Chains A and B, each alone.
Chain A
Amino acid sequence: KQEVTQIPAALSVPEGENLVLNCSFTDSAIYNLQWFRQDPGKGLTSLLLIQSSQREQTSGRLNASLDKSSGRSTLYIAASQPGDSATYLCAVTTDSWGKLQFGAGTQVVVTP
């Protein structure tokens, strides 16, 4: 059974520092891995999607890497801003229908 783990569970950094969020999964047979952002009481916003054949994806200040063989992904957020404060979730797609298995998330607080 696929299990997705995110470390740390919570993170607080001063504005301007780089953020490093970790995600691990137990079964390497995934279709892709995605990183989402969730604001309190809200739905999810997709940040980055990495196909199983890819090693990384970049969008603006965000960069995500994927090492499928070791079951790990890392999300880097450069030069953090208070607006980056949110919970970040990683999820792996486990079948061709698009079923997602989520980690518990990392709650990020960026202080001004």
Chain B
Amino acid sequence: GAVVSQHPSWVICKSGTSVKIECRSLDFQATTMFWYRQFPKQSLMLMATSNEGSKATYEQGVEKDKFLINHASLTLSTLTVTSAHPEDSSFYICSARDPTRGTDTQYFGPGTRLTVL
């Protein structure tokens, strides 16, 4: 089956630094990737939709200048949390859509745990 990887799986950083999270589709080309954030005991909240070769579309309330998304190739999307603060600590999950399988099928990465001190 299709596999999506995320790197790193966890990261601890100091307040004010920037952190980059990678999302890769390993065995298929993903024209569309999604980034979600999950706080403890809460649901996944969609942050943005990332389309290869174009600007990401952000959900209402998500700061595009703080959460930079780059989908430079059909197998890689990156999320950069700029000037991270403790309130950005969360579980970040990406998913990728395989266009050959229609819009229904998304494959999720294992997630990245970000802790900002």
Chain A interface residues (CB < 8 Å from chain B):
4, 31-32, 36, 41-46, 49, 51, 89, 91, 93, 96-105
Contacts and interface: CB of A to CB of B under 8 A. Distances in A.
Given A41-B91, A41-B113, A97-B103, 18 more contacts: A4-B43, A31-B104, A36-B108, A42-B110, A43-B6, A43-B110, A44-B44, A44-B108, A49-B104, A89-B44, A93-B103, A93-B104, A96-B103, A97-B32, A98-B32, A100-B44, A100-B95, A102-B45
Contacts of A44: 44, 93, 95, 108
Q: Which DSSP category, helix, strand, loop or mixed, fits chain A's interface?
A: strand
A42 B109 CA distance: 9
Interface of B: 4, 6, 32, 34, 36, 41-46, 49, 91, 93, 95, 97, 103-106, 108-111, 113
A103 B41 CA distance: 11
Given A98-B34, A99-B46, A42 B111 contact: yes
A4 to B, nearest CB: 8
A25 B41 CA distance: 19
